[in-house]
Amino acid sequence: MNEDVIFRAIAHPARREILSLLAASNRSVKELTATFSISQPAVSQHLRELRDAKLVTSEKVGLEQRYRLTGTPLKVVFDWSSRYRSFFDPSGHAWRFAHVVGKAPAIKGARTRGRCA
């Protein structure tokens, strides 16, 4: 997949918001449209861009299409941005914990009441 397609897909704020919504749960076009002040055809166009970048997939459930996030292509963005992490995370702590979901991070070398943790 061409990386530019992924970056173009996430460039628009409405598409980023759609990705955020789909990260929380699968949704129909109707459910997505209800959260925006844009028309259903506009939401459908954004979904088409995201589908072309393989960031979302859809499945027919009853009479509607249900969309879900396929986050794997976002690794391209993560890998690209990692080149610049020293500018916003010089210690590297946030990067080490980016892969830990639902766990409290244990910071190596952190000091707790004068002792190493």
- Mean pLDDT of all residues in 39-66: 95
pTM value surpassing 0.85: no
Residue 94 lies in a domain: no
Concatenated DSSP letters of 35-84:
TSSS-HHHHHHHHHHHHHTTSEEEEEETTEEEEEE--GGGHHHHHHHHTT
Residue 106 clears pLDDT 70, i.e. is over it: no
13-34, pLDDT tens digit by residue? 999 999 999 999 999 999 999 9
Q: What's the structural domain count of the chain?
A: 1
Q: Is residue 80 included in any domain, yes or no? A: no
Count of C-beta atoms within a 10 Å radius of residue 4: 10
Q: Supply the CATH number for residue 52's domain.
A: 1.10.10.10
**Residue 113 binned pLDDT confidence (cut-offs 50, 70, 90):** very low
Q: Domain residues for 32?
A: 3-73
Question: Looking at the domain assignment, is residue 93 inside a domain?
Answer: no
CB contact at 8 A, 59 and 65: yes
